[in-house]
Structure 1
Amino acid sequence: MRMEPVWPTTGVYPATADYVHAMEVRGAERLVFVSGTMGLRPNGVPGADLAEQLDLIWSNIRGILAAADMTPDNIVRLTSYLTDASFAEANAAARVAALGGRVVPTTAIVVQTLLTDWLVEIEVTAAA
């Protein structure tokens, strides 16, 4: 499988350093669509703050992907749902760290979650 970031040079605003407008995937045999994943501990209790929830989210995503014999290296698309716009910088930093600096198409949306203790939710698409 080959993943190739798409960097348009005309007709669209430039992407920032932490994401790309599109990802071309060739030769993938499997796709995994991961539901919105929250920063919950194994007992279902949310992390105490944003930093802990982001750590838990990425730990949970790694576990879900591992169950499909994948890693964050297989992520080709990501959407973050933030309960406050001020979480954007910490969320982006956690994403960049989790992906080892690899850029993928990403969207961040400010929303109201089902429970007020859930600060961030992230869904991903992975390919292998």
Structure 2
Amino acid sequence: MRRWAPHCHAPVMEISVHNPTSGVYPATSDYVHAIEVRGVERTLYVSGTMGLDPSGAAGATFDEQLDLVWSNLRTILASADMTVDNIVRVTSYLRDRSYAVPNAAARNKALGGRFVPVTAIVVDHLADDWLVELEVIAAA
């Protein structure tokens, strides 16, 4: 179990990674099967967030949308006095399966190399120019 205090004045959360090595397929190098979070006072469930700018326009490329979606998530988390360090789960909705690798790389960069449980789903979005949508759970 690892003690983790994202904010110096925040209560200490305890994070325990659960990656069994037998009886289940191995986790790949960019995620964990599960994490256990103890000592949590608050949980934030963030709706699917798209790579849209403040006016609601989608970024022109997948990379631009990834930058925007992570910027939007940081803003939403900040409104709850949280940061990306508080994220304990990420679900990605991708327009095309070819986006899986760059999406994972952007997630790992945004989380500073900290791995959390993840799911990626290929979907047909509601708007033609939406290429990625992320849903997160954060705890503090």
TM-score for both structures, normalised by structure 1: 0.99
Q: SS of the counterpart of 2:44?
A: strand
Q: Which residues in structure 2 correspond to 1:96-115 (within 5 Å)? A: 96-115=108-127
5+ residue gaps, structure 2: 1-12
RMSD between superposed Cα atoms in Å: 0.5
Q: Which residues in structure 2 correspond to 1:55-66 (within 5 Å)? A: 55-66=67-78
**Which residue number corresponds to residue 71 of structure 1?**
83
5+ residue gaps, structure 1: none
Q: SS of the counterpart of 1:118?
A: coil
1:121 paired to 2:133: yes
**Which residue number corresponds to residue 55 of structure 2?**
43
Percent identity, please. Answer: 68
Deviation per CA, 1:91-127: give whole Å up to 9, x if none: 0000000000000000000000000100000000000
* Residue 4 of structure 1: how far off its partner (Å): 1.6
User: Distance in 1 between the 2:89 and 2:68 partners?
Assistant: 19
**Which residue number corresponds to residue 66 of structure 2?**
54
1:32 paired to 2:44: yes
TM-score for both structures, normalised by structure 2: 0.90
Q: SS of the counterpart of 1:3?
A: strand
Match of 1:5 among 17, 37, 43: 17
Q: SS of the counterpart of 1:93?
A: helix
Larger CA deviation: 30-39 vs 6-15: 6-15
Q: SS of the counterpart of 2:25?
A: coil
Structure 1 segments, 4+ long, off by >6 Å, are none
User: Distance in 1 between the 2:22 and 2:126 partners?
Assistant: 40
Match of 1:93 among 93, 105, 120: 105
User: Distance in 1 between the 2:83 and 2:16 partners?
Assistant: 17
Greater RCO structure (CA 8 Å; 6+ sep):
1
* Residue 5 of structure 1: how far off its partner (Å): 1.4
User: Distance in 2 between the 1:25 and 1:44 partners?
Assistant: 34
